[in-house]
């Protein structure tokens, strides 16, 4: 191998980790027309949990469109209306390792939940009226009904850990499950990236 070719190959190997790190961030696009927004997405081989600061910055971002009073709804409206829900600032949490078919968050994963709790406590310190929606999701394997039930249990599981272990007030957390309805990766097969929770700050779009 010529010296120049060898050095080019070495440089490519050194640059690869940086490229992989950049690939952890992707754009999430709604079915409607809200502008795109960045969400933290974990790498398959290194499900790095987003830090409290990353979570806080994502959730403190303004809504993707200007919210008029007529656009706001009740919590139930927001849970039902995907276009409205996706206006709220959000972050995908794929780093919590839900086993296939399981809603359980093992104690070994609680340090990842602690990052979420810290971000929420920081935000509540500035505004005690903040309201967060925890969405549970599954992949597309299994029946629609079982996946719906599993997604609701995943959202509830995160809510309980946040409240029971890390003191996040119960009343600032709303939960909902969407089963296999909102796949990040459109595949009928098992995919860890779809077994996740999504956090949304819905303070600005809900009637208080």
> What's the pLDDT tens digit per position in 14-44?
344 333 333 332 323 233 334 333 344 444 4
Domain of 141 in residue numbering reads as: 24-205
| Entry pTM | 0.76
Is residue 157 in some structural domain?
yes
Structure-block tokens of residue 21: 């790190």
Q: Which residues contact 49 (CB under 8 A, 6 or more apart)?
A: 42, 93, 95, 96, 111, 112, 115
Domain with residue 105: its CATH number is 3.30.1330.60
Res 10 pLDDT > 80: no
Is residue 72 in some structural domain?
yes
- Total of domains in the chain: 1
Is residue 11 in some structural domain?
no
Is residue 122 in some structural domain?
yes
The mean pLDDT of the chain is: 81
Is residue 32 in some structural domain?
yes
**DSSP strand pairing (132-136 vs 173-177):** parallel
> What's the pLDDT tens digit per position in 42-98?
444 345 789 999 999 999 999 989 988 888 999 999 999 999 999 999 999 988 878
Is residue 9 in some structural domain?
no
């Amino acid at each position: 191998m010529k010296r120049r070719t060898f050095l080019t190959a070495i440089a490519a190997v050194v640059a690869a980790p940086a490229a992989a790190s950049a690939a952890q961030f992707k754009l999430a696009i709604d079915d409607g027309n809200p502008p795109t927004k960045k969400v933290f997405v974990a790498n398959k081989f290194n499900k790095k949990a987003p830090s409290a600061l990353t979570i806080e910055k994502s959730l403190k971002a303004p809504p993707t469109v200007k919210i008029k009073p007529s656009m706001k709804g009740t919590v139930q409206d927001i849970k039902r209306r995907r276009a409205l829900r996706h206006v709220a600032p959000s972050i995908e949490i794929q780093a919590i390792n839900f086993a296939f078919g399981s809603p359980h968050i093992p104690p070994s994963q609680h340090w990842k939940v602690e990052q979420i709790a810290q971000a929420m406590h920081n935000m509540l310190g500035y505004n005690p009226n903040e309201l967060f929606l925890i969405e549970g999701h599954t992949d597309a394997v299994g029946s629609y009904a079982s996946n719906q039930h599993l997604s609701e249990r995943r959202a509830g599981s995160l809510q309980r850990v946040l409240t029971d272990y890390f003191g996040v007030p119960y009343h600032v957390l709303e939960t909902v499950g969407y089963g296999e309805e909102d796949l990040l990766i459109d595949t009928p097969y098992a995919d860890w990236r779809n077994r996740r929770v999504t956090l949304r700050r819905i303070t600005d779009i809900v009637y208080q």
